[in-house]
Amino acid sequence: MERDRFPLVRDQGQARGGPGRIAIPVAADRDRDRQAAMALVEDTGFDAFDAGRLADSWRQQPGAPCYCTDLTREEMPGALAAAEAERLPKRRDLAVAAIQERVGDATTNPDAEYGVRLNRVLFM
C-alpha cells in the first residue's frame, strides 16, 4: 500500500489549536479512567472529547455520525447527539457495501479520504 494514499492515524495528529484538528470521543464509567484515556488522545495530536459513560458509547460506533468522520471538537457534540441507535446497523452496512464495491478496482480503489467522505454523507 502507498503510505500517502492510506495515512496512518499517527500521521494525522496536529499541534493543539491547529485548524481542523480531529476530535476523538472518549467514554468511561470512572472519571479517572476517562481522564487517563483523554490524556493519551491529546498526547497523540488529537482533541479528546468527553463522551460520558460507557452506557452512551453506542453513539460512537460504526454507523453513528461521529464514526470515521474526522470531526473537530466543535462538531463532536452535535454528532453524538444526532446518533439514532435503530439506524446504526443499516448505515454501517451501507458504508461497508460501498467500500467493498470499490476495493480491488485499480481505477476506483478507495483511499482513506474516501471513507471519511462516505461516512459524512451517510451519517450526517
The boundaries of the domain holding residue 44 are 10-123
Q: List pLDDT tens digits, range 91-123.
A: 999 999 988 888 877 777 778 788 888 988 888
Which pLDDT score is estimated for 2?
Answer: 47
Cα–Cα distance for residue pair 9/26, rounded to 1 Å: 16
| Mean pLDDT for the stretch of residues 22-38 | 97
Indicate the pTM of the whole model.
0.81
Q: Classify residue 4: in a domain, yes or no.
A: no
Q: List pLDDT tens digits, range 31-58.
A: 999 999 999 999 999 999 999 999 999 9
- The total number of structural domains that make up the chain: 1
Q: Classify residue 59: in a domain, yes or no.
A: yes
Q: Classify residue 74: in a domain, yes or no.
A: yes
The residues, any chain, with a CB within 8 Å of residue 27's CB and separated by 6 or more, are 34, 51, 52, 53, 54, 56, 57, 60
3-state secondary structure of 23: strand
